[in-house]
């Protein structure tokens, strides 16, 4: 079953078309990476899903129910983490979760237990009774996830949750998303591609107001798979020496050789050659399309 179905969604801001017949499906249990350059319309799409912004055309269904602007009953299925979540600084995380849970209709009996569970999950148990005003950005982001999950939503929407964080903070968020995978479906927008590779199983690339690329991550990769292999050395001189002994490649960078048509057998031969020449490369690897190259390719079209 699809938790989220977007069909032919259109949105214009004045003269500028932001979304053009965007269609997208997120199946239950997926962690869906919603990729696109800045200004591609990711946040706009998410705001329309949440009923915070009116669409000019098209339809959105969450768990089969149609989303309308303003009055947002479908939000009971959804947890939302904004890119920079803002809180009432005078409340403590426990009080804030009690407020959010109560508003989302969680019964008072289960609310306290659920809040404790989530504070544990996001690593804020020790700060549960401190005022939020003293929190760092990373802590706020983690509290943002907790508030989004308080009512056990079917769909968690995260708008660039890692963009404003340092590497440690990013890792925390990714780990939390992994941990909740069994509980909820996730739509995760970002332009940080390594984060997508670490956690998502499906991707959709938004470009020019529509999906330029979508599907399971490995399928998308396989569709754009490239042959060949790469050998990278520490020194340029080593690269030049090896290229003359084992031709058929080209210098991708001064110290990196690319054999674009090399097969598996060619790569084994190259490794034997390296051993014979007593050369130790920094790395030798089969070429795999990186998300970055797919991103650049699709964005260039």
Partner 1 sequence: MRQLLLLLRKELLELVRTKRAMVLLIVFGIFGILNPALAKLTPWMLSLMGESLAEQGITFGAITVDALTSWTQYFKNLMMEYILILAMFSSIFAQEYQSGTLVNLLTKGVSRGKVALSKLLAVQLTWTVCYWLTFLVTLGYTAYFWENALPAGIWLAAVCAYMMGVWLLSLELAFASALNSGMYALLLTGGVFALFFALGMLPQLTRFLPSHLGDGLGLLTGDMASSDILPALWVSLALSATQSALCVVGIRKKQL
Distance CA(200)–CA(276), nearest Å, equals: 41
The reply to whether 112 sits near partner 1 by the rule CB under 8 A is no
- CA torsion, ordered 170, 42, 59, 3, to nearest 10 deg: -20
Q: Which is nearer to partner 1, 52 or 240 (CB)?
A: 52
The reply to whether 109 sits near partner 1 by the rule CB under 8 A is no
The reply to whether 164 sits near partner 1 by the rule CB under 8 A is no
Angle at 54 between CA 50 and CA 55, to 5 degrees: 100
Neighbour count for residue 64 (Cβ, 10 Å): 11
Q: Which of 15, 38, 71, 167 binds partner 1 (CB under 8 A)?
A: 71
Neighbour count for residue 196 (Cβ, 10 Å): 24
CB 138 within 8 A of CB 165: yes
Q: Which residues pair with 5 in a beta bridge?
A: 25, 61
The reply to whether 221 sits near partner 1 by the rule CB under 8 A is no
Q: Which stretch binds partner 1 (CB under 8 A): 76-84, 115-123, 214-222, 230-238?
A: 76-84
Q: Which stretch binds partner 1 (CB under 8 A): 37-45, 97-105, 121-129, 251-259?
A: 97-105
The reply to whether 134 sits near partner 1 by the rule CB under 8 A is no
Q: Which stretch binds partner 1 (CB under 8 A): 29-37, 60-68, 79-87, 248-256?
A: 79-87
The reply to whether 105 sits near partner 1 by the rule CB under 8 A is yes
Distance CA(189)–CA(281), nearest Å, equals: 37
Q: Which of 33, 36, 41, 85 binds partner 1 (CB under 8 A)?
A: 85
The reply to whether 34 sits near partner 1 by the rule CB under 8 A is no
Q: Which is nearer to partner 1, 75 or 214 (CB)?
A: 75
The reply to whether 87 sits near partner 1 by the rule CB under 8 A is yes
3-state helix, strand, coil in the chain (%, to 5): 40, 25, 35
Angle at 189 between CA 171 and CA 75, to 5 degrees: 110
The reply to whether 41 sits near partner 1 by the rule CB under 8 A is no
Distance CA(231)–CA(257), nearest Å, equals: 5
Number of separate helices (H) and strands (E) present in the chain:
10, 14
Nearest approach in angstroms of CB 65 to partner 1 is: 12
Nearest approach in angstroms of CB 144 to partner 1 is: 8
The distance between the two most distant Cα atoms of the chain, rounded to a whole number of Å, is: 74
DSSP state of 67: P
* Number of residues counted as binding partner 1 (CB under 8 A): 30
The reply to whether 128 sits near partner 1 by the rule CB under 8 A is no
Footprint on this chain of partner 1 (rule: CB under 8 A): 50, 52-53, 70-73, 75-76, 78-80, 82, 84-88, 90-91, 95, 99-100, 102-105, 144, 147, 151
């Amino acid at each position: 079953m699809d938790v989220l179905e977007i069909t032919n969604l259109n949105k214009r801001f004045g003269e500028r078309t932001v979304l053009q017949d965007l269609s997208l499906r997120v199946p239950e249990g997926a962690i869906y990476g919603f990729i696109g350059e800045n200004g591609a319309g990711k946040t706009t799409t998410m705001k329309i899903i949440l009923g915070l912004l009116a669409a000019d055309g098209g339809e959105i269904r969450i768990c089969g129910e149609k989303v309308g602007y303003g009055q947002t009953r479908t939000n009971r299925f959804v947890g939302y983490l904004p890119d920079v979540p803002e809180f009432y600084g005078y409340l403590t995380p426990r009080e804030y979760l009690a407020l959010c849970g109560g508003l989302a209709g969680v019964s008072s009996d289960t609310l306290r237990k659920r809040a404790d569970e989530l504070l544990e999950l996001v690593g804020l148990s020790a700060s549960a009774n401190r005022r939020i005003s003293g929190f760092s950005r990373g802590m706020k982001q983690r509290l943002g996830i907790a508030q989004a999950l308080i009512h056990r939503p079917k769909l968690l929407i995260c708008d660039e949750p890692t963009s404003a964080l340092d590497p440690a903070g990013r890792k925390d968020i990714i780990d939390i998303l992994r941990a909740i995978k069994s509980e909820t479906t996730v739509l995760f927008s970002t332009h940080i591609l390594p984060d997508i590779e670490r956690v998502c199983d499906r991707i959709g690339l938004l470009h020019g107001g529509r999906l330029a690329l979508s599907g399971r991550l490995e399928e998308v990769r396989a569709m754009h798979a490239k042959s060949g292999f790469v050998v990278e050395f520490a020194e340029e001189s080593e690269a030049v020496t090896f290229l003359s002994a084992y031709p058929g490649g080209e210098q991708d960078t001064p110290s990196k050789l690319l054999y674009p048509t090399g097969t598996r057998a060619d790569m084994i031969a190259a490794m034997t050659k390296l051993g014979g020449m007593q050369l130790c490369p920094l790395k030798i690897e089969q070429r795999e399309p990186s998300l970055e190259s797919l991103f650049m390719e699709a964005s260039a079209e």
